[in-house]
Amino acid sequence: MKRSTVSERALVLAPRGRDAAVATAMLAEAGIEADACASLPELIQRLNEGAAFVVVTEEAITTSNLAPLSSWLADQEEWSDLPFVLLTTRGGGLERNPAAARHLGLLGNVTFLERPFHPTTLISLAHSALRGRRRQYDARARLLALRSSEHRFRTLFDTMDEGFCVIRFLDGEHGPLSDYVHVQVNAAYERHAGIANAVGQRVRDMVPDEADGWVALYREVLLTGEAIRFERKLIATGRFLELSAFRVEGSDQPEVAVIFQDTTARKRAELELRELNETLERRVSEAVAEREAAAAQLVEAQKLETLGQLTGGVAHDVNNLLTPITGALDLLHRKYAREDPRAARWIDGALQSAERARLLVSRLLGFARRQALETRPVDVAGLLDGMRDLIASSIGSGIELKILSAAKLKSAVADPNQLELALLNLCVNARDAMPGGGEIRISAHEVIVGSDEHIGLSAGAYVRLSVVDTGTGMDKATLARAIEPFYSTKELGKGTGLGLSMVHGLAAQLGGAFILSSTVGKGTRADLYLPASAENAPMAARYMEDVSVSRFLKILLVDDEQLVRDGTAEMLRDMGHEVVAVDGAKNALATLEEGGHFDAILTDYMMPSMNGAQFAAELSRLDIGLPVLVVTGYAGGDLEISLPQLAKPFRRSDLAIALERLVGNKTNVVAIRQRQ
């Protein structure tokens, strides 16, 4: 019988006489289709085509081989239990008829009807058999539907890409519902979780270290019935999983179903991407910060440069104005000091002001890097030694002074006078930062600067002169501006704000660097880097205290500015020297060629057409063996002269000393070096 057959006909097996015909007629009368079968084999064949029930006479089955029927019945599908109506022989009640009991065993679902019977009895039995059979058909339909859904579920379960399992909660040693066992697991489970043969395994045996977490998550689902979706690492196998879990409804067991996927690769890619993004962001911000810092530095450098140019220009002009002023004042002083004390006081006052102006201008020139420097190898340790008393008296007794110089320190290329000034400036700053006392440590060491150190120095050996104090320190804003000319935090009249500008300018002009670092409340460190010299410094120079002129000289004075020239000539004559004054190098050379005899030449540096250095070079070329003193004010760039110099504006005494040194040392003759 086909699975879908819903046959409602009756089959009748009553081989004797007219029994079959009578029975079929009765059934037909009641509206039930009925077919008579001639033999048991025919019955079995017709049964295979489909039937609702069978009416059979007792004789038909007692005389036949029942094995085929019995096996047909045994082979029925689970929903089917074919009803029989057995027409027994008269008086053949069950209790008196042992054969009937056997028939009951063979046919199963059988109703006995004793002959003769009333037609109504047969019809009612037939109807109830038919109804019973209909219910079996219904059961078959439901069974089929169930099977197909189960089949569908199986196929899905086995072929789905996600891992799937059903877990059943158990009461474990950690309490009720504290463990679960894997009841069902699909093929993808192992692929995603990395664990084989999960069915039958308890989570506490499977992943003991992390079982608590998994149990807690799924027990919540079991107890609340709320499905969850989450991501979690299965530590045991190192997999990142994306999971969803829901309670298995309609089950009489405490079960939860879990669907999950291995997302390790995606997670890794995400992590890598995030890391990449972060490093990229960091690198970009580092690069931006670097660039900003470089730009800020450039702006700072440009600002200082511009200020330097401006300052240098102004200072030069002021210097030229100051020279005749001081010269004239000196002369006036000599002339009137004795006769007119009041005039002498005025002149003194004017001279003092002029002196202050001179100092100011020299610091401005220092910042502008236009100082006329007399650079030579300087024994820094010796210089520090010589300054100890001066520094100690400048800083007062409340501050401890320590001076440390490295042994066998190389000489530094510097102008000793300017270096002393710079050092004094730094010490005074340190003193001012320590009103309540403290310590100043001055040290000198040799340092080697590599090409990758960005402190604005080219690679090489330097002498580093450090002044470290334990004072108030500077905040960022002050530190950033400290070097600026005229920047001062000191009260009006106390600081010009030119101290550090001068130190910075000096360092730059010498090919070194000046670096300030400071921490508020801790103190300040000032490092002055000076190029180390290949030569050694001569013994510390002795300053001449005696200003009196030891002999009268004939001096050739060269200056293009009449006011300055006249003033200087007057000073020289006042000292008793004989002076020939000319307005330029050309006339000077002409005068010399004419055969005039001179003891020394005093020449201005800045002159049109031929400057002091060029003039000196020309003298050297002509082999005129005369000592030359160059009066400098504004050296006009990075110029380094190894000739004796006298800085403008100068006092009578400065001039006297310079001349004395010049003629006392005949080797100081014309040798000039111009820096590249």
Beta-bridged to residue 558, according to DSSP, are 582, 603
Tokens of 93: 């009640």
Q: Is 488 in the site for ligand ATP (CB under 6 A)?
A: yes
> Interface with ligand ATP by CB under 6 A: which range of 169-177, 250-258, 453-461, 465-473?
465-473
Query: What does 57 interact with, of Mg ion, ligand ATP, none (CB < 5 to 8 A by kind)?
Result: none
Cα distances (Å, whole numbers) of residue 635 to 155, 157, 207, 419, 572: 99, 95, 86, 18, 23
β-pairing, 523-531 vs 460-469, is: antiparallel
Q: Is 478 in the site for ligand ATP (CB under 6 A)?
A: yes
Query: What does 7 interact with, of Mg ion, ligand ATP, none (CB < 5 to 8 A by kind)?
Result: none
Q: How far is the CB of 584 from ligand ATP (least distance, A)?
A: 38
Q: Decide whether 418 or 429 has the Cβ nearer to ligand ATP.
A: 429
What one-letter code names the amino acid at 207? V
Element (H, E) at 26: helix 19-29
> In the bound complex, which residue of the shown chain has the CB atom lying closest to ligand ATP?
499
**DSSP letter (8 states) at residue 243:** E
Q: Answer whether 114's CB lies under 8 Å from 92's CB.
A: yes
CA dihedral 95, 98, 101, 102 (to 10 degrees): 180
Q: Decide whether 495 or 636 has the Cβ nearer to ligand ATP.
A: 495
Q: Is 506 in the site for ligand ATP (CB under 6 A)?
A: no
CB count within 10 Å of CB 22 equals 14
Q: How far is the CB of 441 from ligand ATP (least distance, A)?
A: 12
- Of the residues 371, 524, 568, 645, which one makes contact with ligand ATP according to CB under 6 A: 524
Helix and strand counts by DSSP (H, E) for the chain: 19, 22
Nearest to 570 by CA among 582, 560, 579: 579
- Of the residues 449, 474, 662, 672, which one makes contact with ligand ATP according to CB under 6 A: 474
Q: Decide whether 491 or 545 has the Cβ nearer to ligand ATP.
A: 491
Q: Is 498 in the site for ligand ATP (CB under 6 A)?
A: yes
Q: How far is the CB of 634 from ligand ATP (least distance, A)?
A: 21
Q: Answer whether 168's CB lies under 8 Å from 183's CB.
A: yes
Tokens of 281: 């962001």
> Interface with ligand ATP by CB under 6 A: which range of 123-131, 144-152, 422-430, 555-563?
422-430
Query: What does 386 interact with, of ligand ATP, Mg ion, none (CB < 5 to 8 A by kind)?
Result: none
β-pairing, 460-469 vs 438-449, is: antiparallel
Q: Decide whether 430 or 592 has the Cβ nearer to ligand ATP.
A: 430
Q: How far is the CB of 493 from ligand ATP (least distance, A)?
A: 10
Q: Is 469 in the site for ligand ATP (CB under 6 A)?
A: yes
Q: How far is the CB of 626 from ligand ATP (least distance, A)?
A: 40
Question: What is the spatial distance between Cα 127 and Cα 183, in angstroms, rounded to a whole number?
Answer: 46
Go through 34-45 and write b for each residue having 16 or more CB atoms within 10 A of its CB, e for each that does not. bbbbeebeebbe
Q: Answer whether 83's CB lies under 8 Å from 51's CB.
A: no
Q: How far is the CB of 479 from ligand ATP (least distance, A)?
A: 8
Q: Decide whether 482 or 626 has the Cβ nearer to Mg ion.
A: 482
Question: What is the spatial distance between Cα 162 and Cα 560, in angstroms, rounded to a whole number?
Answer: 100
Query: What does 490 interact with, of Mg ion, ligand ATP, none (CB < 5 to 8 A by kind)?
Result: ligand ATP
Q: Decide whether 360 or 447 has the Cβ nearer to ligand ATP.
A: 360
Residues within the interface to Mg ion (CB under 5 A): 429, 499
- Of the residues 137, 497, 583, 661, which one makes contact with ligand ATP according to CB under 6 A: 497
Query: What does 470 interact with, of Mg ion, ligand ATP, none (CB < 5 to 8 A by kind)?
Result: none
Q: How far is the CB of 460 from ligand ATP (least distance, A)?
A: 27
> Interface with ligand ATP by CB under 6 A: which range of 57-65, 235-243, 299-307, 489-497?
489-497
Q: Is 507 in the site for ligand ATP (CB under 6 A)?
A: no
Q: Answer whether 80's CB lies under 8 Å from 108's CB.
A: no
Q: Is 500 in the site for ligand ATP (CB under 6 A)?
A: yes
- Of the residues 201, 496, 620, 668, which one makes contact with ligand ATP according to CB under 6 A: 496
Sketch the per residue contact string, 372 through 411, with ligand ATP: x for CB under 6 A, - otherwise: ----------------------------------------
Axis-axis angle for helices 499-509, 416-432 (nearest 10): 140
Query: What does 433 interact with, of Mg ion, ligand ATP, none (CB < 5 to 8 A by kind)?
Result: ligand ATP
Q: Is 482 in the site for ligand ATP (CB under 6 A)?
A: yes
Question: What is the spatial distance between Cα 7 and Cα 390, in angstroms, rounded to a whole number?
Answer: 133
Cα distances (Å, whole numbers) of residue 34 to 46, 50, 51, 68, 302: 12, 12, 9, 22, 120
> Interface with ligand ATP by CB under 6 A: which range of 173-181, 286-294, 415-423, 480-488?
480-488
Query: What does 482 interact with, of ligand ATP, Mg ion, none (CB < 5 to 8 A by kind)?
Result: ligand ATP
Q: How far is the CB of 448 from ligand ATP (least distance, A)?
A: 27
Instruction: Map residue 80 onto helix, strand or coil.
Output: coil
What one-letter code names the amino acid at 473? G
Q: Decide whether 69 or 430 has the Cβ nearer to ligand ATP.
A: 430
Question: What is the spatial distance between Cα 578 and Cα 557, in angstroms, rounded to a whole number?
Answer: 10
The interface with ligand ATP within residues 527-586 (CB under 6 A) comprises none
Cα distances (Å, whole numbers) of residue 430 to 390, 419, 433, 434, 501: 15, 17, 5, 7, 15
Contacts of 275 (CB under 8 A, 6+ apart): none
- Of the residues 83, 254, 471, 511, which one makes contact with ligand ATP according to CB under 6 A: 471
Question: What is the spatial distance between Cα 239 and Cα 51, in angstroms, rounded to a whole number?
Answer: 60
Instruction: Map residue 225 onto helix, strand or coil.
Output: coil
> In the bound complex, which residue of the shown chain has the CB atom lying closest to Mg ion?
499
Q: Is 490 in the site for ligand ATP (CB under 6 A)?
A: yes
Q: What is the CA radius of gyration of the chain?
A: 61
Q: How far is the CB of 428 from Mg ion (least distance, A)?
A: 6
Query: What does 184 interact with, of ligand ATP, Mg ion, none (CB < 5 to 8 A by kind)?
Result: none
Query: What does 567 interact with, of Mg ion, ligand ATP, none (CB < 5 to 8 A by kind)?
Result: none
Nearest to 420 by CA among 445, 449, 446, 387: 387
- Of the residues 15, 487, 566, 668, which one makes contact with ligand ATP according to CB under 6 A: 487
Element (H, E) at 632: strand 628-632
Element (H, E) at 124: helix 119-159
Q: How far is the CB of 426 from ligand ATP (least distance, A)?
A: 7
Q: Decide whether 416 or 499 has the Cβ nearer to Mg ion.
A: 499
Go through 301-311 and write b for each residue having 16 or more CB atoms within 10 A of its CB, e for each that does not. eeebeebbeeb
Q: Answer whether 377's CB lies under 8 Å from 412's CB.
A: yes
Q: Is 495 in the site for ligand ATP (CB under 6 A)?
A: yes
Interacting residues toward ligand ATP by CB under 6 A? 425, 429-430, 433, 469, 471-474, 478, 482, 487-490, 495-501, 524
